[in-house]
């Protein structure tokens, strides 16, 4: 961070800062000696080509202090080491950075009605693409109908990634998390509402710093108790990035993460007759053969196909958005050029 900050060339009134809280376009940033309220500068907003280029919790930024107002303006976002991103909810094609510069991403899933290996596949896909190390946390083991079977199903999806079972309320299994939270490290908590993220934060902090609520018994759905993203300092010196529950997790980018998240599918794909086999209607498909022989589950292949379709659709949307943005910037440039010519009396 220090090298990136110096390379940017800050002025005397600039300070390095880390975004600690984001709430309705208002920020709180950690600076040397304390924290400050902050807003994004107009110049940064103007030059940002997407929402993903604006500050997110966990970002290292350059802030211009305003001593007379006891606040700061965020003027630049320093390069990110990692970014967990999703497509913004709804029909808009844009990126939302959920957590920036996390070393570890804790993917939290409860073993009650929230249990969904298919949804976990989506989290794993984005977590692998983020650049952070994914770790799966399974909560509420006391509500599991068949704990060994559920854990085995998760391990089948995660391959060799770490999987921990814990009961946040009793503290059982929580000690396994402390090894990830050494001084100077940042871990992000991601998952649905009601899976126990706030209780995990309270357990690791050693105090009730986050509100908690019970979930509905009939469908295991929780209500949002965390309403904004926040970096929470831990006694051992690490930072826990707490996030609101995500009802919707649309993909934003995947790259090579699909092959990593579906190593079992990819393992058989190498034996397909066609190198570009989509594992659908093509003949001599080794992946479909593996399903027929019971070596690969049909649900796993169907999930792989659905994610590939979604990524292809997203790529088309992103291309269309890029073209529209290019045209918009071209119009702005042409307008500025005409204004310059008029100012010179030509």
Question: Structure tokens of 193?
Answer: 């509402």
253, part of any domain: no
In 83-106, which positions are buried (b, 16+ CB within 10 angstroms) versus exposed (e)? bbbbbbeeeebebbbbbbbbbbbb
Burial of 262 (0-12, 13-18, 19+ CB in 10 A): buried
Regarding whether 224 and 108 lie in a shared domain, the answer is yes
Confidence of residue 220 (pLDDT cuts 50, 70, 90): very low
Q: What is the pLDDT of residues 180-216, one digit of tens each?
A: 998 989 999 999 888 999 899 998 988 776 655 454 4
CATH of the domain at 107: 3.40.50.300
**pLDDT average, residue stretch 323-335:** 61
Regarding whether 106 and 63 lie in a shared domain, the answer is no
> Rounded to whole angstroms, what are the CA distances from 234 to 34, 100, 101, 169, 201?
16, 18, 17, 18, 9
50, part of any domain: yes
**pLDDT average, residue stretch 127-144:** 92
Count of domains observed in the chain:
3
Final residue in a domain of this structure, among 49, 77, 105? 77
Regarding whether 270 and 176 lie in a shared domain, the answer is no
Asked if 255 contacts 318 with a C-beta cutoff of 8 angstroms, the reply is no
257, part of any domain: no
CA-to-CA distance for 101 and 4, rounded, in angstroms? 14
Regarding whether 313 and 223 lie in a shared domain, the answer is no
Regarding whether 180 and 56 lie in a shared domain, the answer is no
Mean pLDDT of the chain: 82
DSSP H or E stretch at residue 306: helix 298-343
CATH of the domain at 51: 2.40.50.140
Tell me which of 219 and 240 has the higher pLDDT.
240
CA 149 to chain centre: 28
Question: Structure tokens of 307?
Answer: 């994610």
Confidence of residue 244 (pLDDT cuts 50, 70, 90): confident
Confidence of residue 20 (pLDDT cuts 50, 70, 90): very high
DSSP H or E stretch at residue 118: helix 117-130
319, part of any domain: yes
Regarding whether 73 and 88 lie in a shared domain, the answer is no
Q: What is the pLDDT of residues 55-80, one digit of tens each?
A: 999 999 999 987 777 789 999 999 99
Q: Residue 268 pLDDT > 80, yes or no?
A: yes
247, part of any domain: no
For the chain, helix (H) and strand (E) counts, in that order, are: 10, 13
CA-to-CA distance for 197 and 212, rounded, in angstroms? 9
Most confident residue range from 46-60, 210-224, 313-327, 332-346: 46-60
CA-to-CA distance for 201 and 182, rounded, in angstroms? 15
Tell me which of 90 and 79 has the higher pLDDT.
79
Regarding whether 33 and 138 lie in a shared domain, the answer is no
- Collapsed DSSP state (helix, strand, coil) of residue 131: coil
Regarding whether 333 and 203 lie in a shared domain, the answer is no
Final residue in a domain of this structure, among 19, 51, 77? 77
Pairing between β-strand 163-166 and β-strand 133-139 as defined by DSSP bridges: parallel
Asked if 240 contacts 187 with a C-beta cutoff of 8 angstroms, the reply is yes
Regarding whether 320 and 185 lie in a shared domain, the answer is no
Question: Structure tokens of 139?
Answer: 């909560």
Question: What letter would DSSP give residue 214?
Answer: P
252, part of any domain: no
138, part of any domain: yes
Final residue in a domain of this structure, among 25, 46, 77? 77
248, part of any domain: no
Regarding whether 222 and 117 lie in a shared domain, the answer is yes
**pLDDT average, residue stretch 298-314:** 80
What angle, 0 to 180 degrees and rounded to 10, lies between the N-to-C axes of helices 147-158 and 117-130?
Answer: 40
| pLDDT at res. 144 | 93
Place of tokens 């609101």: 244
| pLDDT at res. 333 | 59
Torsional sign, CA 164, 170, 171, 172 = negative
With a pLDDT cut of 70, the percent of the chain lying above it is 77
Q: Residue 166 pLDDT > 90, yes or no?
A: yes
Q: Residue 243 pLDDT > 50, yes or no?
A: yes
Asked if 96 contacts 87 with a C-beta cutoff of 8 angstroms, the reply is yes
What angle, 0 to 180 degrees and rounded to 10, lies between the N-to-C axes of helices 117-130 and 298-343?
Answer: 40
Question: Structure tokens of 195?
Answer: 């899976």
| pLDDT at res. 123 | 87
**Full residue range of the structural domain in which residue 275 is found:** 262-346
> Rounded to whole angstroms, what are the CA distances from 49 to 54, 325, 329?
9, 8, 9
Regarding whether 181 and 106 lie in a shared domain, the answer is yes
| pLDDT at res. 312 | 74
Regarding whether 175 and 296 lie in a shared domain, the answer is no
């Amino acid at each position: 961070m220090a090298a990136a900050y110096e390379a940017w060339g800050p002025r005397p009134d600039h300070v390095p800062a880390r975004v600690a809280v984001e709430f309705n376009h208002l920020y709180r940033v950690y600076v040397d000696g304390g924290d400050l309220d902050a807003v994004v500068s107009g110049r940064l907003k103007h030059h940002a080509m997407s929402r993903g280029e604006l500050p997110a919790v966990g970002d290292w930024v350059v802030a211009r202090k305003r001593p007379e107002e006891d606040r700061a303006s965020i003027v630049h976002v320093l390069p990110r080491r990692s970014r967990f991103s999703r497509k913004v909810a709804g029909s808009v094609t844009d990126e939302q950075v959920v957590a920036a510069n996390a070393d570890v991403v804790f993917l939290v899933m409860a073993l009650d009605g929230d249990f969904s290996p298919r949804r976990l596949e989506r989290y794993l896909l984005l977590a692998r693409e983020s650049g952070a190390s994914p770790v799966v946390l399974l909560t509420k083991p006391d509500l599991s109908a068949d704990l060994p079977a559920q854990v085995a199903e998760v391990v089948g999806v995660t391959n060799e990634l770490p999987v921990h079972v814990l009961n946040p309320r009793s503290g059982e299994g929580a000690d396994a998390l402390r090894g990830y939270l050494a001084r100077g490290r940042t871990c992000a908590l991601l998952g649905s509402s009601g899976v126990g993220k706030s209780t995990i934060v309270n357990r690791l902090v050693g105090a009730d710093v986050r509100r908690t609520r019970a979930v509905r018994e009939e469908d295991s759905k929780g209500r949002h108790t965390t309403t904004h993203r926040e970096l929470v300092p831990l006694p051992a010196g690490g930072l826990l990035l707490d996030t609101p529950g995500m009802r919707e997790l649309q993909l934003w980018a995947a790259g090579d993460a699909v092959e990593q998240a579906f190593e079992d599918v990819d393992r058989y794909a190498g034996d397909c007759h066609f190198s570009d086999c989509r594992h659908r209607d093509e003949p001599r498909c080794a992946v479909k053969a593996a399903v027929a022989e019971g070596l690969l589950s049909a649900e796993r292949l169907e999930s792989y196909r659905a994610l590939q379709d979604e990524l292809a659709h997203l790529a088309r949307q992103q291309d269309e958005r890029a073209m529209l943005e290019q045209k918009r910037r071209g119009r702005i440039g042409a307008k500025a050029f005409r204004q310059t010519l008029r100012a010179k009396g030509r």
